[in-house]
Amino acid sequence: MDGRPVVTQEGEVWVVRVERNVPVQEYRCASEAQARQLLLALTPKPQA
């Protein structure tokens, strides 16, 4: 991982994983829409 969040589906649960520091942080979501919204919130903003 390069620090950007990744969304995967595990069974009926959507998982957002982000590796900024060790260990990897996982957030579990009930729906894909919820996971995608969290992904946007956790994505680092580009430096200008």
Please list the residues that pair with 28 across neighbouring strands. 15
Tell me the mean pLDDT in the region 10-14: 96
The answer to whether 8 and 14 are in contact (CB under 8 A) is: yes
| pLDDT at residue 30, rounded to an integer | 97
The answer to whether 4 and 16 are in contact (CB under 8 A) is: no
The answer to whether 35 and 17 are in contact (CB under 8 A) is: no
Q: 2 pLDDT band (50/70/90 cuts)?
A: low
Quick check: 9 pLDDT over 80?
yes
Tell me the mean pLDDT in the region 8-20: 93
Please list the residues that pair with 6 across neighbouring strands. 17
Please count the other Cβ atoms lying within 10 Å of the Cβ belonging to residue 14: 21
Q: What is the pLDDT of residues 15-39, one digit of tens each?
A: 999 987 778 899 999 999 999 999 9
Query: What is d(CA 46, CA 9) in angstroms, rounded to the nearest whole number?
Result: 27
| pLDDT at residue 45, rounded to an integer | 79
